[in-house]
Amino acid sequence: MSLKRIDLLICCGSGCVSAGALKIKERFHEVLNEKGISNEINIIETGCMGPCDYGPVMVIYPEGIFYKAVTPEDVSEIVENHFIKGRPVQRLMLHDEEKTFAAQKDVPFYQKQVKVALENCGYIDPESLDEYIATGGYEALGTVLTTMTPQQAIDVIKESGLRGRGGGGFPTHAKWQMVHDAKSDEKYIICNGDEGDPGAFMDRSILEGDPHRILEGMMIAAYAIGATSGFFYIRAEYPLAIKRIKHAIEQAKAMGLMGESVFDSKFSFDAEVRTGAGAFVCGEETALIHSIEGMRGNPSPKPPYPSTSGLWGKPTVVNNVETFANVPSIFVKGAKWFASMGTELSKGTKVFALTGDIRNTGLVEVPMGITLRELIFDVGGGIIGGRKFKAVQLGGPSGGCLTIEHLDVGVDYESLKARGAMMGSGGVIVMNDQNCMVNIAKYFMDFCVDESCGKCSPCRIGLKQMYDILERIVHGYGKIGDIEELQRLGEAVSRLSLCGLGQSAPNPVLSTIRYFRDEYEAHIRDHSCSTKVCLALMHFDIDKDNCIGCSLCARKCPVNCITGSREEKYTIHQLDCVKCGNCQDVCPVKAVNRVPGMHPEEKTKRDTLKKQHPHED
């Protein structure tokens, strides 16, 4: 054995061999030859080193550093960083147990969270009433029924400052008070579980993970307003949530927590589950009520509000799932405790659903007023794949986009509204720099056009017009003045629509115009989409210097628009190209590139057509 700088001992026990140790060894030989340092390193095969769990494993002397679970892809990194630069690769090291596992309390994802509505989600068995009771369940209901008057219960909610978690942020106690004060032989309470916002799934998770909490919250509300029957309206897309809430109702009845004179009080209550059949607009309370009545889910003008004339014309309270989930905790831990969290006007915590290009997708619950930066980068772990943050869409299709300059804005009802976004139900869609904002706005508009119920013209016609303009822009037929037209239409639709869907549907477009106007202008004026997402405003191009003339792209092209030969390399005939991207996918040397901007040939063709048919747009 000649004297070498480094000894690399690769375990070739049977465990490691089955995990691919021999491939790793080959790969080391290859990379070391490439780098020209194979004479400095001794590669030694050893027998089993023991920790077969972590195979393939290896030890590197003189330092004695132990690497585990090495893949062929890791090899060049080890050679580059460890052998050449002398920096061992931390991520592959085998640590002892305490060091590898971050304890939950030390992980930023958990550190900034305060669980109220999600307190039991992921901790108890949702189908076991005993487990819910073990965590203190139904104590709030018992206390309210045996020691408080309905008015006192409403006062507690008032003191807590709880506001509607469905998005509007209407004070919960005010809704309850109105129905409490209304004179009627029958009053109803409805739980709105028609969570349709793209990117929101907090209601589903709570219904599936802690159904009794919602039931308890609903019963406290029913007692406060004087309702004896309640309805859970849950969208049909959530079969598991429907199943679990039904199960919870049966259990509560069997245990005597629901039905006649609960806790020996005068309060009797019965609840049933109703489902939708796929309509986003049914999340709007008047539409939801129509849907329960077995009709089309069209909203109706307000007033009259449901609090005076709701389900079957009776006074009705409609509260969102997450709103109910907060209620039991407020009675157990006190209104002061709840009001101590959050900001002056937005009390308590809010559940957010983090989705899109973010590392920790999922559900988080944080005190209101947390900054977007903390929410996205500390709790959410930042952008996936280390790309750049570009924008975040808050509040689904009724919300708006915020940008990098808003990262220090606190997340609460008022701050978001002031900047053209909205709390909504709590969906947070994070986008990296590869997203085209015009295209995203078009996507949201498409959703709203689909989901508009068609009852009122501003929403039915206005949104379609806006969608058509956006469609034109992304296909390269945008005209000067389109941006102003979108703004004009957007404001008209917001002002004139009957319900929240239409009133807020233009928000994504208006907010992207507000913060990304340059992208709209580039699409219209320069016929160029800088992110290369809009197919009409980009083109594929083969880099002749890199092309090796292998013909793979030409053979994979579905419209045969690529020609060439080994000698003269390959060229794309732009006018025939359908931009399927196959050529880019198959090119072994990455010589096919996406280039922003419409190809000049295409532009000329369109201009000629325009001259021939000047009146056609």
Partner 1 sequence: MKTLADLKKIREKAQEEMKFRGGNVRIKIVVGMGTSGIAMGAREVMKTFLEEISNRNLTDVLVTQTGEKGLSSMEPVVDVIEDGKAKITYGNMNPDKVKKVVVEHIVNGRTVSDYVVATGD
Partner 2 sequence: MYKEICKKYSPDKDNLIYILHDIQDTHPQHYISEEAVEVIAEYLGVPANHIYGVITFYSMYSTSPRGRNIIRLCESPPCYIKGSENILRKMKIMLGVETGGTSKDGLFTLELCACLGVCGNAPVMMVNNDVYGDLTEDKVEEIVEKIRRGN
Give the footprint of partner 2 on this chain (CB under 8 A). Answer: 195-201, 204, 236-239, 274-280, 291-298, 353-357, 361-363, 393, 427, 429, 431, 435, 440, 443-444, 447, 450-451, 453
Q: How far is the CB of 280 from partner 2 (least distance, A)?
A: 6
Q: Euclidean distance between the first and final Cα of the chain, in Å?
A: 79
* Shortest distance, position 397 Cβ to partner 2, whole Å: 8
* Using rule CB under 8 A, residue 263 touches partner 1: yes
As measured in angstroms, the least distance from the Cβ of 424 to partner 1 is 18
State the minimum distance, in angstroms, from the CB of residue 529 to partner 2: 16
130 binds, among partner 2, partner 1, none (CB under 5 to 8 A by kind): partner 1
Question: In which element (H, E) is residue 593 found?
Answer: strand 592-596
Report the residue number, 216 or 357, with the smaller CB distance to partner 2.
Answer: 357
Stretch that binds partner 1, among 10-18, 197-205, 297-305, 600-608 (CB under 8 A): 197-205
273 three-class SS: strand
125 touches partner 1 by CB under 8 A: yes
For partner 2, the closer CB: 153 or 453:
453
- Which parts of 143-172 interact with partner 1 (CB under 8 A)? 143, 146
Nearer to partner 2, 319 or 355 (CB): 355
Stretch of 9-17, 208-216, 508-516, 553-561 lying at the interface with partner 1 (CB under 8 A): 208-216
Q: Which residues contact 585 (CB under 8 A, 6 or more apart)?
A: 556
Q: Whole-number minimum distance, CB 298 to partner 2, in Å?
A: 8
Of 67, 83, 138, 231, the residue at the interface with partner 1 (CB under 8 A) is 138
Tell me the DSSP string of 204-231.
HHHHHH-HHHHHHHHHHHHHHHT-SEEE
Give yes or no for residue 100 binding partner 1 (CB under 8 A).
yes
Those residues with Cβ within 8 angstroms of residue 586's Cβ, 6 or more apart along the chain or in another chain: 552, 553, 556
Q: How far apart are CA 216 and CA 611, in angstroms?
A: 69
Q: Is the peptide bond before 588 cis (omega within 30 degrees of 0)?
A: no
- H helices present in 458-528, as ranges: 463-474, 482-496, 500-504, 507-525
Which helix (H) or strand (E) segment is 42 a member of? Answer: strand 41-46
Say if residues 282 and 77 touch (Cβ distance below 8 Å). Answer: no
Is 66 a binding residue for partner 1 by CB under 8 A? The answer is: no
Provide the token pair at 233. Answer: 């309206």
Q: Is 1 in the site for partner 1 (CB under 8 A)?
A: no
Pair 269, 258: CB distance under 8 Å:
yes
**Torsional sign, CA 93, 96, 101, 102:** negative
Q: How many residues of this chain bind partner 1 (CB under 8 A)?
A: 54
9 token code pair? 């001992």
Q: Whose Cβ is closer to partner 1: residue 119's or residue 602's?
A: 119
Structure tokens at 149: 């008057």
255 touching partner 1, by CB under 8 A: yes
Q: Does 257 bind partner 1 (CB under 8 A)?
A: yes
C-alpha 436/C-alpha 584 separation (Å) is 20
Among 47, 50, 122, 454, binds partner 1 (CB under 8 A): 122
CB of 513 to partner 2, least distance (A): 17
Side-chain-facing half-sphere of 283: CA atoms under 13 Å: 27
Exactly one of 25, 27, 163, 204 binds partner 1 (CB under 8 A); that residue is 204
Does 600 sit behind a cis peptide bond, omega within 30 degrees of 0 on the bond before it?
A: no
Q: Which residue among 35, 359, 569, 606 contacts partner 1 (CB under 8 A)?
A: 359
Under rule CB under 8 A, residue 104 binds partner 1:
yes
433 near 385, Cβ under 8 Å? Answer: no
Residue 260 is a binding residue for partner 1 (CB under 8 A): no
**Strand 427-432 versus strand 349-356 pairing type:** parallel
Taking the complex as a whole, how short is the minimal distance between the CB of residue 99 and partner 1, in angstroms?
Answer: 10
Helix runs in 271-316, H state only = 285-292
Q: Counting contacts by CB under 8 A, is residue 273 touching partner 1?
A: no
Closest approach, Cβ 247 to partner 1, in A, equals: 12
3-state SS record for 324-373: HHHHHHHHHHCHHHHHCCECCCCECEEEEEEEECECCCEEEEEECCCEHH
100 binds, among partner 1, partner 2, none (CB under 5 to 8 A by kind): partner 1
Which of 492, 451, 485 has the alpha carbon at shortest distance from 468?
Answer: 485
Identify the residue among 16, 49, 57, 124 touching partner 1 (CB under 8 A). 124
| Nearest CB to partner 1, comparing residues 138 and 231 | 138
Peptide bond into 211 cis (omega under 30): no
Closer CB to partner 1, residue 61 or residue 101? Answer: 101
Q: Which residues contact 377 (CB under 8 A, 6 or more apart)?
A: none
Q: From partner 2, partner 1, none, which one binds at residue 596 (CB under 5 to 8 Å depending on kind)?
A: none
**Minimum distance between the CB of residue 19 and partner 1, rounded to whole angstroms?**
12
Binding site for partner 1 (CB under 8 A): 53-54, 69, 97, 100-105, 107, 110, 118, 120-128, 130-131, 133-134, 136, 138-139, 142-143, 146, 201, 204-206, 208-210, 238, 240-241, 255-257, 263-264, 359-365
